Amino acid sequence: MQECDTLLMVGSSFPYSEFLPEEGKARGVQIDLDGRMLGIRYPMEVNLVGDSADTLRALIPRLERKQDRSWREKIEDEVAKWWNLIEHGHSSRPIRSTRSSSSRSSPSGYRTARFCPRTRARPRIGMRGTSGCETG
């Protein structure tokens, strides 16, 4: 997150502050049901109160895809390395290809997770290939 140009926080107001970009380095947009939680961790340009799924559906048509995908590709590679480290316990093993055509992959086709390190549960894949832990 430190190198992002836009920070989108959805339904969360408690990211670890040491990973946030420096103030003024990124534009901020936050969506939350509770308006009291908006903008408390990072100065947001846009604060939206509402259901995250409905709000994101309304915002998606307004987004423009960047032609330069290098930042996203770098992040996807780092995430794949992280999950390899979590699965195998060390980074000296070669990273096997994570390319997949499975429905549990991100739009680019890279799997982002196999299990949640906190709960050891299988992840569920959300918007744009992000993963969340299934806890129940």
Among the three residues 62, 80, 106, which one is the final residue of a domain in this structure?
A: 62
Q: Same domain, yes or no, for 27 and 43?
A: yes
Q: Which residue has the higher pLDDT, 59 or 91?
A: 59
Q: Same domain, yes or no, for 52 and 74?
A: no
**Worst-scoring range by mean pLDDT, 20-24, 75-79, 97-101, 115-119?**
97-101
Q: Same domain, yes or no, for 126 and 74?
A: yes
Q: Same domain, yes or no, for 123 and 74?
A: yes
The pairing of strands 123-125 and 131-133 is: antiparallel
pLDDT grade for 38, boundaries at 50, 70 and 90:
very high
pLDDT of residue 133 exceeding 80, the answer is no
pLDDT grade for 97, boundaries at 50, 70 and 90:
very low
Q: Same domain, yes or no, for 76 and 100?
A: yes
Q: Which amino acid is located at 44 in the chain? A: M
Q: Same domain, yes or no, for 54 and 10?
A: yes
The mean per-residue pLDDT over the stretch 86-103 comes to: 55
Q: Same domain, yes or no, for 56 and 85?
A: no
pLDDT of residue 52 exceeding 80, the answer is yes
Q: Same domain, yes or no, for 80 and 125?
A: yes
Angstrom distances, CA of residue 15 to CA of 42, 72, 100, 108: 10, 20, 29, 25
| Residue 1 within a domain | no
Q: Decide: 43 and 7 in contact? Cβ < 8 Å.
A: no
Among the three residues 62, 93, 110, which one is the final residue of a domain in this structure?
A: 62
| Residue 15 within a domain | yes
pLDDT grade for 1, boundaries at 50, 70 and 90:
confident
Q: Same domain, yes or no, for 105 and 127?
A: yes
Q: How many structural domains compose the chain?
A: 2
Q: Which residue has the higher pLDDT, 112 or 89?
A: 89
Could you list the residue range(s) of the whole structural domain that residue 124 is in? 70-133
Q: Same domain, yes or no, for 74 and 129?
A: yes
pLDDT grade for 127, boundaries at 50, 70 and 90:
very low
Q: Which amino acid is located at 53 in the chain? A: A
Angstrom distances, CA of residue 96 to CA of 92, 93, 102, 108: 12, 9, 16, 17
